[in-house]
Structure formats: structure tokens, C-alpha cells
Chains A and B, each alone.
Chain A
Amino acid sequence: MKMKKLVSHIFFLTTFGIIFSACTPNLGSSSLRGSNTNTQNISGANLGIGQGYVLADTPLDITGNYLLDPNTDLNSLLTPATITNNGFLTGGASPCSGALPCFDVLANQTSLSALQSADGKWAYNYNTPEFLQVNTFFHMTKILDQFFINLSNSRTLSTQYDSAIPLNIFFRTIPLHAYADCNFADNANFDPSKFSLCFGYLTGNKNIKFAQDNTIIYHEVGHYLQNLQFNLRNAAAVIKPEINYGFYSESGSIGEGLSDFYSYYVNGRPRIGEWATGRTLNASRPISESDNLHASGISTDPAQRLSYPQFLNYDPNNAQIPIEDIHYSGMIISHYLVALSEDFITTCGMTKPAATAKVIHLLSETLAEIGDMSSTATNAGGLGKINLNAVDSKDWLRVSNPMTFRSFAQTFAKNLFQNMNQLPGCNGIAYGQDKIETLLDDYGLLLFRSYNQNRNYADPVTRPNTLVMASNRKKSTLISKNLIKLDPTPGASAAFVIDGQDQITNGVASLQSLGIILSNLSQTPAGFPFNNGNGRVSPGEVVAIGLNLYNDSNAIMGGIQVLANDWNHIDPTGRPYIFDQWPLAAEGGTPAPAPSVAAAKVAPFTIPAEELSPVCLIQSKALNGSSTQWMTQKAYRQIVAVDQTMCLDTANDKDCFIRAVKGVEQSTYSKLAPKSNWGQTMMDPQTKAAYSLSWSNVILFQVSKHIPPGTVVNCRLRVRFSNCEDCYHDQTSATPGGPLTRPGYDYKDIYYNDADPFKIVSLQFSVID
């Protein structure tokens, strides 16, 4: 009986405890936490209502001591600041209606509410979760207030010309949640699907939290702001575009560079991450060449800027070792934007806040235009001006024509020209084309021939397309697409194959959990039992293939992209077009349409299903038994009489036997040094150690177990790079050999479904069991 009562009491106590702890608002506590136990307690006695204590900058920058002990009592560095008069740490619009943005700050994902102040003040010791929340709130308020005032001004400004910024901006009807004390090791993140930010801690020193470093807060909020800017024109779009952070990519590099710039935008300092990533990990990043973290030979001198593509793999903390990482390659963009801000100050007499606000306006214009899913690009634009059309726009931006250093620089330059040259944006002082192009060229970003104001197809008479002055292109190098090729060195491999079970199992699981894989792979059994690790393509395998590309020019190639998505290389009867004399007519080839066919196409653009063909063809005797032919997989399926239900995609027999897995159907390489392949480019110059491949460098193929062993396959991939002379510029003529029809113009979007903008690279192999 006693036992029963005891159990009853325990039940009540437990229930009470759980409920009480769950329902009590997050009032905070003064309990200490962390490794430093000698903290001088903070008191709110001298604070007014709504005030609290914050780290106004990183501890290193407050003290000026870049060797500050990571275990220092930071309470001595806290300063009073206005936080909020709200009872909770909630900011922005109230209620959160969608008319204006709003946000709140919580301890972590399991917190029930934003932190509540018991006395209207926000005084906490630095090593408490409450301090992290207050500090995060303070710096979020700072950057968001600044940004949304600028955005409001952008809307006013955008009425003066054909702008990409819509007059009515819709904000999400929920708060942006920031979790200031996340249980994430060595990580901070922005989750756009949940609309949340998380700030974790360092495993090496748990006393250091990401939320103690204001520059990290600005950087992460910067990702949120980019998401907003990229989607300014997509209020009615079901599917939203995104910057590709999953792999190494130029769009991801630009995104990281922009986020770094957001830190400069708020605090005007030329470095990010001094405390959280820099103090113990040597992983902070400069935002200007004036920062002494840079290697020697880098300065604000025009000849010593951080230029593209030379510095794509440069980590200032370890300058001798190349690294392919979007955070470091993005420094080219952050440095350019800081240099531009400083030029606005010098040339236009702007204050620093006015100069950076102008840059943010230009970024809003640029990202809104590039991210437009409706294909209209600007408020007065018609269909087909960007990203092909409203149905295919997401895939177009993801694979066929993604944001690159070239496309970003071109669109940004167009907006710069519009705002600073054609409008009195420089306080009435001339800010000419020459100035715009000179600074872009200092950064190697003058990679385009025209500003593309008419977005490729409008009547050039009514809407001129300003050409870049060729004499301004000094550092920016354009290279012919024919100079990228498979490594011609005798004995060199054409491609690398990864087909081991462990590597593919881990890779597919990881890619799938990141939301990267867009094909249903269910035809392949779990565990990849057909993967035999023999380094060849075998029936039933999922196999990664990386090309051994070679730069045969004397300049650096940047932003190399290999595409294995469906494209227009098969005629409507199923015969492969002949490109580079392959396949011969006797082998089934048929002449490709002249470039003028694509040139004649006008918006709105649509792509008929028959103009989208998988990259891999199969060699077989024709159905009539005549000669050996190259044919589509659909034709081959009929010859070998495989039922469609046995195809990789039972609803589509176009790629019945082998297909590039959607989402992993492109590979990228940051750069290729002159006369070098990627391995040589990335090799450690001191130890000569190879830089191994990552998932951004390979394309994933799924092979049917029903493909007969010995089948010969040829996959026609398309390759281009960002500083390519003839991958983006339309050099076609109305008459063969005649004058250029559209000199200096960009290709229309529809071209990127064809061969012209690319170097075609074929991989041929037997499927061997």
C-alpha cells in the first residue's frame, strides 16, 4: 500500500514537474554555465527599461587583442544597449501579418517561447543561454532594421526605371525564428524551409558560441536576406529558386560572398568570424584586401585585387594550399562589393552607410532579376526574358543557365549602369561606364560583351544593348570553349569511376538527406548489391563518374560545368544529330539543325518533349539487322524486347537502361590552371599530395540490371566555363560566313538546350558485368 502511495506521489510530482517546466515562459535565469566559473555577475541595476547588455562587436575587436584568451570573462566587455520594450524577444511587425517582416529569438528548437523579461530589462551573464538570445536579438534587429529601411527606399527608387523590385512585396506571415543556443557542434545554419536560424558552439572550446560573434549573426541573417531578395518576384510561385549551397558551385560561392558582405554592411569592418571561427580555428575571412590576414602580394592596388579566377581556391589562413570551398571562392564577390562601396564614398562623396545601402539596392535588383521564376525579369518585362519560361525556370536556373560569376557580374553591372550612370545615383557626379568596367576588370569579372539590358531578344532600336568597351578588359580573360578537353596526355584517363559499395551507399544517403537527389532510385536495391567496385560500369550499379578535364589554353579557366541533363541532340525520328563528326551518317547520325534555327526562335520559349533527350545512346544492330547504329535507349528497348515496366523509370522509356540521376546530373570544378587538369590544379604544391574528388566533381549514373553485359554506351555531355568566349555570346550570322546578326549579344535562353554554347564531350564505354 505504501508502495502504491509512493508511486502515486512520484507520478504527481513528475507530472507537475513536466507540466510546470513546459508551461512556464522562458523567463531566463542567472545560472552560470560554461567553463569559466570566475565570472563577475552582471547586474541590471544601471539599466533602463528595455535595455540590456550585449557584445557590441566580437571580443577580439572590442579589446583590440587578437590573441584574447578564449576563456576570458566576457562580462567585462559587455555594454548597455537598447534591446526592446516588448515583454518577449520579438521584433519587427506585430502582429506578424505578412505586410512587414517579423522575427523572434529563442534559446533552442525545444523552447516554447521567445525569452521573456521578468523586469523589463535584459541583463544576463555572457555565458548564459539568455545572454546569447539577447545578443542575437540585438544584432538581428540592427541588420534587419537597416536592410528593410533600404528595401523600402529601393521600392521608391525602382519607380524611376524598369526595375526588378516589385512595388508590392509579400513577406512570409510567420516570424523568422533564431535559436541562439543550438545544440549544433561547429555549425550555424539558415533553414529556409523552417524559416529559422541556428547558432551552435565550437567543440574545441565550448566557451565560444557562434551567437557571441556579431559577424556570424550578420552572415547568417545575410542568407535569409538573400533568400528574400532572390524571391522578391516569386510571391505567386509554388516552387522557389535557391542558391546552390549543397555542392561547390559558383552560385553558392556568390551567396557566401554576399553573406560576408552583409557583415561589412552593418559594421563596416573588413573581416568576418574573428571570434567564433578565427580565434582558435584560423577560419575567419577578410572582406577587403586591406585586411592584414591576406597573403603578401594582395592589396587594394588595382593590380593586386582578389581577382577571378586566380583566387577561387585561396584560403588566406593557409594561402599555399588550394581549397575548393564556396566560403573562400566567395571572397572575390565580397571584396568587389567592398571596393565598390569605397569607390562610391570616394567618387560620389557618399557616407559609408549610404554607399553600402546603394550596393544593397543593386543586389536586391540583381538577385530579384536572376531569381525570377515567372521569366519576366523586370516589372515591364515580357515572358521569356530570363530563366526560359514559367514551367522550366527552376531547372533552367539549377542546371541549364545557373547563376555564375559571369551572369551575376553582368546583371549587377547592368543595374550599376542604370542606377549610377543613367540616373543621378552618384550625387550628380558622372559615374561612367569606364569606371564600372575598370573596377569589374580589376576583379577579373568583366566576362561579358554587353550589359544585356534588353535581355537578349528585344528590339535593339527601341532598347539599346550597351556593349562593353573592349579596351577595359585587361585582367578578365575570355577563352575559347575548344580549349577545354579531356586530358590529352598519353596514358591519361578520360574519366574516373567510383562504383564501390561503401562510397556509393554513403554518398547516396547523404545526397538524399540533403534533398539533392531528384530521381526515384527504387529500381536499385538498398545496399547497392550490384556495385562491385571494379572501376567499370556494370549492370545494376549506381556509379559516379568524374571527367578528367584539361585546360589547353595559357590562361586560367574558371567555373567549369559539365552537364548531363536532357538536351536537344536527337531528331524527332530518333536519330542522333551529328556533332564533331559523330556519329557518322552510316552509324545512324543525321545533320544537326543550323544555329539559325535556334536563332529564329522567339519568346515565349517552350521546349517540346521531343527536344529533350537523355545524354546516353546505345550501339546496336538496327531492327532490320543492317548495320551497327547509334540509337536512343527507347529504340534499343524495342530491339532487345525489354518490357517498359523494367525500365529505370517505368513511366518513361527514354532512359530505360542508363540515366544521369537528376540533381546529380552536373558536375563543377572551380578552375583549371593553364595546360593542366584539375588534379594538377588542386595539387598541394609542397607535398604534391592529390586533392581528391568530391561529390561536386562527379555525375551520378544509374544503370539498369536489365542492360545486357557488353552493351556499348556513349554519353554526350556538354561542358562550358564562366570565362568562356563563345559559350554565352551569340556569334551567329543570318548568312553563312556573313556578318554577325547579334554582335556582342548573349545567347537567348533557348540556346542552352542546344549544342552551340557548349563543348561536347563524349564518354564511351562497355557495360561490363
Chain B
Amino acid sequence: MKKYNLFFMSLLLASLIAYFTHPQMKKIPNHVTNKSENKWKTFEKKSASRIEAHPTTETELAKGNVTRTIASVDKPQENLFYLREDRILTGENLEKYQDESVELPMLNKINTDWKEALGSELLQFQKDDTKIIVKDEQHIIKIKDNQGMYLEKVIITYFLKNGDQNSFHALVDSETGSIIDTWDRTIHEKLFKRSQRLEPTGTSNIIGR
């Protein structure tokens, strides 16, 4: 029996070596598997009053095709973006405000729990067992009318109970976790989709002009 165990141990060791030396795996940057960075978070609606959150697991990443976005983190590139407080500037007068000695009044603060607030917002109206993954991409400051707003650029992936998956980029308020804007939404060709039909429940008390 000891020989048996030794054989399997050897196989396991060989498997581990093969796993970590596989050329494709080597291409995955370190920060992806570095969970301490906590770039991904999963939220799941268990019931109307209960939303659970946990760091996204490897299985969830794979299912959501999120592992494949690892290199897509659009790192601030100094030749492309203006930066302030290590955040990308967007909006007006960017050149002026990249100089941190120029005062920029901020409309909001950074709340360390913005992601939890976002998770609640995204699941509030969803059915039980709906799951989402939120992935941080970039930290942003948007400037308008000489005022700044802290924002987070994220990728949100919905896993609906019926098996559908939808993803999109979003800008999120760093204080409230509210969605400010979205883009890059999944383009589905889905046959038979005929978008949900609506039956009016009434017309009577509206006067038009």
C-alpha cells in the first residue's frame, strides 16, 4: 500500500510541475492570481433580504470568462492619460488639474465600501440566486465645472438564474457605489429573443397635448 501511495504522490508531484511549467499558464501575470489584490468580488442574492459577498473564486472567474480579461486591465499610461492622486483624469481642463498643487474641489469622498453598496444596488431588483462579479479596472477622477468626482471603472458580469450572462463596463461613484454610466454591453444575437412584450394596464388618466 505504501508503494501505491508513493506512486500517486509522484503522479501528483508530476502534475503540479506540469501545471506550473505549462507555457500558457506562465503567460498569466502574477497579479491575477494574487488574491490579496482583491480585484474581483462576487455578490449573490440569496433572498430578498440577504446578499452574500465573497472574493471571486477561480471557478467563478472561469465561468464568467473573467480570467481572460486579466491582461485587459487598462493601466494608466502616462502618454495617454493625465493623472492625479494616481487616478486617471477625465473631463475638462485635465492638463491644469494634473498639477496637484492646483486645488480641485471634490464632490464626493472615497468610501472603502463602495463595492458593497454597488453589489446591493445591482441585486436589489434581481431574482434570488442571481450572481454578479465586479472587477475593478481603474480609479478615475471626472472633472466638470472645475469640480472633481471620484469614480471607479469596473466590469460587471451578471449570471442570471436562467443561464444568461451579461457584461458591461461601468463608472461607479466612489462614495455611494451608484452607477453613473455603462458601455461595452454584451451584444447578443439571441434567436427567438423578441424582447419582453408589455401589456398596458391602463391609459385613462393621462391627458396629452
Question: Is B truly associated with A?
Answer: yes
Alpha-carbon gap, A109 to B64, bound state (A): 7
Query: Which of the 9-residue segments A47-55, A119-127, A505-513, A622-630 touches chain B?
Result: A505-513
A506 and B160 form a contact (CB under 8 A): no
Alpha-carbon gap, A20 to B18, bound state (A): 8
Query: Known contacts A109-B62, A110-B63, A194-B69; is A694 also within 8 Å of B198 by CB?
Result: yes
Query: Which of the 9-residue segments A491-499, A551-559, A735-743 touches chain B?
Result: A491-499
Query: Which of the 9-residue segments A67-75, A169-177, A472-480 touches chain B?
Result: A169-177
Check A188 for interface membership: any CB of B closer than 8 A.
Answer: yes
Give the residue of A202, A219, A698 whose beta carbon is less than 8 angstroms from that of B198: A698
A109 and B63 form a contact (CB under 8 A): yes
Which single residue of chain A is at the shortest CB-CB distance from B170?
A515
Query: Known contacts A391-B92, A515-B182, A526-B124; is A497 also within 8 Å of B209 by CB?
Result: no
Least CB distance from B36 to A in Å reads 23
Residues 597-628 of A contacting B (Cβ, < 8 Å): 609
Which single residue of chain B is at the shortest CB-CB distance from A535?
B202
- B197 contacts across to A, CB distance below 8 A: 692-694
Most buried by A among B64, B90, B205: B205
Query: Known contacts A23-B15, A236-B81; is A544 also within 8 Å of B167 by CB?
Result: no
- A245 contacts across to B, CB distance below 8 A: 185, 187-188
- A522 contacts across to B, CB distance below 8 A: 120-121, 124
Query: Known contacts A238-B90, A526-B125, A762-B208; is A20 also within 8 Å of B80 by CB?
Result: no
Check B191 for interface membership: any CB of A closer than 8 A.
Answer: yes
Interface residues on B, range: 35 or more
Alpha-carbon gap, A498 to B92, bound state (A): 40
Least CB distance from B126 to A in Å reads 5
- B209 contacts across to A, CB distance below 8 A: 486, 580, 582, 761-762, 764
Give the residue of B63, B171, B200 whose beta carbon is less than 8 angstroms from that of A546: B200
Alpha-carbon gap, A547 to B203, bound state (A): 10
Residues 166-203 of B contacting A (Cβ, < 8 Å): 166-171, 176, 178-192, 194-203
Residues 220-274 of A contacting B (Cβ, < 8 Å): 220, 223, 227, 235-242, 245-248, 255
Least CB distance from B163 to A in Å reads 8
- A194 contacts across to B, CB distance below 8 A: 65-66, 68-69, 72, 155, 157, 167
Q: How many A-B residue pairs have CB under 8 A?
A: 296
Alpha-carbon gap, A62 to B66, bound state (A): 37
Check A113 for interface membership: any CB of B closer than 8 A.
Answer: yes
Which single residue of chain B is at the shortest CB-CB distance from A187?
B190
A109 and B65 form a contact (CB under 8 A): yes
Check B102 for interface membership: any CB of A closer than 8 A.
Answer: no
Alpha-carbon gap, A204 to B122, bound state (A): 34
Which single residue of chain B is at the shortest CB-CB distance from A219?
B189
Alpha-carbon gap, A198 to B136, bound state (A): 23
Binding site for A on B (CB under 8 A): 1, 4-5, 8-9, 11-12, 15-16, 18-19, 22, 24-25, 48, 62-66, 68-72, 80-81, 88, 90-92, 120-122, 124-127, 130, 138, 140, 142, 144-145, 153, 155-158, 160, 163-164, 166-171, 176, 178-192, 194-209
Given contacts A281-B191, A493-B203, 16 further A-B contacts (CB under 8 A): A16-B11, A22-B19, A110-B62, A113-B24, A173-B72, A196-B65, A219-B189, A238-B171, A497-B206, A514-B166, A520-B121, A535-B204, A536-B205, A544-B198, A545-B206, A697-B198
Those 3 A-B pairs whose CB atoms lie nearest each other, nearest first: A535-B202, A494-B208, A515-B168
Binding site for B on A (CB under 8 A): 5, 8-9, 12-13, 15-16, 19-20, 22-25, 88, 96, 109-110, 112-114, 170, 172-174, 177, 179, 185-196, 202, 216, 219-220, 223, 227, 235-242, 245-248, 255, 277, 281, 283, 325, 327, 389-391, 394, 486, 493-500, 503, 505-510, 512-518, 520-522, 526-528, 533-537, 544-548, 580, 582, 609, 663, 692-698, 761-766, 768
